[in-house]
Amino acid sequence: MAADLEEKTDRYGEMLADALAAAEPTAPPGTPLGEAAAECYEMADSYLADGRHFREAGDPVNALASFSYGYGWLDAGVRLGLFAVPDGEEGKLFTT
């Protein structure tokens, strides 16, 4: 069971990092939608950093929770149209 948690935590951390790299804001900065996109991205990025901190501290449960929350923020932004995502393999990171 511990090995499954370790593997899942690592996989979710990589998935969030890849998703952050793939997401491109669609709204101009300084507009309400641009600000919303920036906030979603910042939250996802912050949860990635938190998850990495927890992972390094040997706390995979909180690391997995952080990665999952971060991914949720970013995926919600994609579903709301705040981010464009690529076609192909990278686009499969999102529930468009």
Domain boundaries 2-93, corresponding CATH code: 1.20.1270.90
Say which residues have a Cβ less than 8 Å from residue 6's Cβ, sequence separation at least 6. 60
More confident call, 18 vs 89: 18
Q: How far, in Å, CA of 39 to CA of 90, rounded?
A: 22
pLDDT exceeds 90 at position 89: no
Condensed to tens digits (0 to 9), the pLDDT of residues 3-45 reads 799 999 999 999 999 999 988 999 898 999 999 999 999 999 9
Cα-Cα end-to-end distance for the chain: 32
Average pLDDT in the 44-51 region?
A: 98
Stated pTM of the model: 0.86
Residue ranges covered by each domain of the chain: 2-93
Identify the helix (H) or strand (E) that includes residue 61. helix 60-79
